[in-house]
């Protein structure tokens, strides 16, 4: 009985190997960066979102040294900063 079971397992493994039934590795998906992290731009500025101006999150821009903070949005909803365009002229964001 034990020999039959071993023979069956061996034949099953041989059949799987002959059919190419081994799973192929798949690439892991690339995770998207969180939108609330500051992003540096090619213009030497950092885009970020913060609730420093009140109850709602707004989008800000500042120089990389922390100077010249400018608030870009002022609406009464939460705005979340996303990436900037390669030329640095536009910001993708959600609300």
Domain ranges, ordered by start, for the chain: 35-89
Q: What is the pLDDT, as a whole number, of residue 16? A: 59
Q: What is the pLDDT, as a whole number, of residue 26? A: 63
Q: What is the pLDDT, as a whole number, of residue 27? A: 66
Category of 40 on φ-ψ map: left (φ > 0), alpha (ψ -120 to 50) or beta: beta
CA–CA separation, 59 and 52 (whole Å): 10
Q: What is the pLDDT, as a whole number, of residue 49? A: 87
Query: Bridge-partner residues for 59, per DSSP?
Result: 49
Q: What is the pLDDT, as a whole number, of residue 23? A: 55
Q: What is the pLDDT, as a whole number, of residue 30? A: 58
Specify the pTM.
0.54
Residue ranges, the chain, pLDDT below 50: 32
């Amino acid at each position: 009985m034990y020999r039959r079971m071993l023979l069956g397992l061996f034949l099953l493994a041989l059949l799987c190997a002959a059919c190419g039934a081994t799973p192929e590795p798949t690439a892991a998906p690339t995770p998207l960066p969180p939108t609330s992290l500051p992003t540096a731009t090619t213009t030497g500025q950092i885009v970020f979102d913060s609730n420093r101006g009140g109850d709602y999150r707004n989008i800000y821009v500042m120089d990389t040294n922390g100077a010249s903070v400018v608030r870009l949005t002022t609406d009464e909803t939460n705005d979340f900063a996303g990436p900037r365009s390669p030329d640095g002229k536009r910001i993708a964001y959600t609300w």
